[in-house]
């Protein structure tokens, strides 16, 4: 996980707009991709990305440089995604995921994800609850180590390991059923 240069962060804190744009260019990719894999919907992922950067802009002066910017940005992203899930659940009264509901799986996959691997990953992630999905996205897509995930989610590393193990057990169990015979 490559972090953003401290000078850029300090310039952005001082109100240097170019520095803030530089921060956006360097970090928007992982923020958008995390949001997209979590919610599996491009428009929602765009809205989450916007919200995350507005929060970063507003709270940048409070960012403490002893922690990593990316860890902080991931944390804001995860919180924003969880708020999005709560909002969706409240408004639509629809359960977030149900591993046994195949109709729901079919609805969950967006046509935006055309490529085969993306489709498979979208289907696989749909069988997980948000907490497990978060761990799998951070580990298997973003490539964070267990220790980094623990820092982002403010969890014990053993809790992260357990969540990843349970999520993968579920994926192995339902993977073939959900994705089809090609697995």
Partner 1 sequence: MRCKDAQDMILTGYLDDQVSSKQARAIHEHLAQCGDCKEFFERSQKILVDPFKAIHEVKVPDHVWMKIKEACQSSRRLSWADRVGAQLDIFFNGLLRIWPQFALSTVAVCCVLFLVLFQGSVFNRQQLANHFLQEQWEYFLSFDEETDSQEMVVDWEVFL
Candidates 42-50, 70-78, 90-98, 101-109; binding stretch for partner 1 (CB under 8 A): 42-50
Instruction: Report if residue 15 touches partner 1, rule: CB under 8 A.
Output: yes
What would the 3-class secondary structure string for the chain be?
Answer: CCCCCHHHHHHHHCCCHHHHHHHHHHHHHHHHHHHHHHHCCHHHHHHHHHHHHHHHHHHHHHCCCCCCHHHHHHHHHHHHHHHHHHHHHHHHCCCCCCCCCHHHHHHHCCCCCCCHHHHHHHHHHHCCCHHHHHHHHHHHHCCCCHHHHHHHHCCCHHHHHHHHHHHHHHHHHHHHHHHCCCC
Q: Is 69 exposed, middle or buried (0-12, 13-18, 19+ CB in 10 A)?
A: buried
Q: By rule CB under 8 A, what string of x and - marks binding of each residue 132-161 to partner 1?
A: -------xxx---xx--------------x
Candidates 45-53, 72-80, 84-92, 93-101; binding stretch for partner 1 (CB under 8 A): 45-53
User: Could you tell me the smallest distance in angstroms from the CB atom of residue 178 to partner 1?
Assistant: 10
Q: By rule CB under 8 A, what string of x and - marks binding of each residue 55-84 to partner 1?
A: --xx--xx-x-x------------------
Candidates 72-80, 84-92, 102-110, 166-174; binding stretch for partner 1 (CB under 8 A): 166-174
d(CA 41, CA 34): 11
Size of site (CB under 8 A) for partner 1 = 46
Candidates 67-75, 82-90, 94-102, 164-172; binding stretch for partner 1 (CB under 8 A): 164-172
Instruction: Report if residue 33 touches partner 1, rule: CB under 8 A.
Output: yes
Note whether 95 and 89 are within 8 A (CB): yes
- Contact residues: partner 1, CB under 8 A: 13, 15, 17, 20-21, 24, 28-29, 32-33, 36, 42, 46, 49-50, 53-54, 57-58, 61-62, 64, 66, 115-118, 120-121, 124, 139-141, 145-146, 161, 164-165, 168-169, 171-172, 175-176, 179, 183
């Amino acid at each position: 996980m490559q972090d953003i240069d401290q000078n850029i962060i300090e310039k952005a804190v001082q109100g240097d707009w170019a520095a803030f744009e530089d921060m956006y260019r360097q970090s928007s990719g992982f923020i958008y991709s995390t949001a997209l894999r979590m919610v599996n919907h491009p428009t929602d992922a765009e809205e989450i990305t916007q919200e995350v950067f507005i929060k970063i802009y507003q709270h940048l002066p409070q960012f403490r440089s002893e922690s990593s910017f990316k860890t902080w940005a991931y944390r804001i992203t995860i919180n924003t995604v969880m708020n999005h899930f709560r909002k969706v659940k409240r408004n639509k009264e629809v359960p977030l995921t149900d591993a046994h509901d195949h109709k729901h799986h079919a609805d969950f996959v967006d046509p935006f994800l055309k490529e085969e691997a993306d489709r498979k990953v979208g289907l696989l992630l749909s069988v997980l609850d948000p907490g497990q999905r978060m761990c799998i996205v951070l580990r298997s897509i973003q490539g964070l180590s267990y220790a980094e995930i623990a820092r982002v989610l403010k969890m014990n590393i053993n809790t992260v390991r357990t969540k990843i193990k349970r999520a993968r057990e579920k994926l192995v169990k339902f993977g073939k059923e959900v994705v089809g015979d090609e697995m």
